[in-house]
Homo-oligomer: A and B are copies of this chain.
Amino acid sequence: MLVFWQHGYETTSINDLTAAMGVTTPSIYTAFGDKKRLFLEAIDMYAGSPDDLQQSLDQAATARDAASAMLTAAAEAFTGETTPRGCMLASATASGSTNSADVQTAVADVRRDIIARLTARIDKDVTDGILPVITSSSTLAAMVVAMIQGMSVLARDGMERESLQKIAGCALDGWPDALQA
Binding site for B on A (CB under 8 A): 6-13, 16, 90-92, 94-98, 100, 104, 108, 111-112, 136, 138-140, 142-143, 145-151, 153-154, 156-159, 163, 166-167, 170-175
Q: How far is the CA of A12 from the CA of B150 in the complex (A)?
A: 23
**Min C-beta distance of A10 to chain B, whole Å:** 5
* Number of copies of this chain that the complex holds: 2
Which of B104, B136, B142, B174 contacts A172, CB < 8 Å? Answer: B174
**Min C-beta distance of A134 to chain B, whole Å:** 13
Q: How far is the CA of A129 from the CA of B59 in the complex (A)?
A: 43
CB pair A167–B143 under 8 Å, yes or no, is yes
CB pair B153–A111 under 8 Å, yes or no, is yes
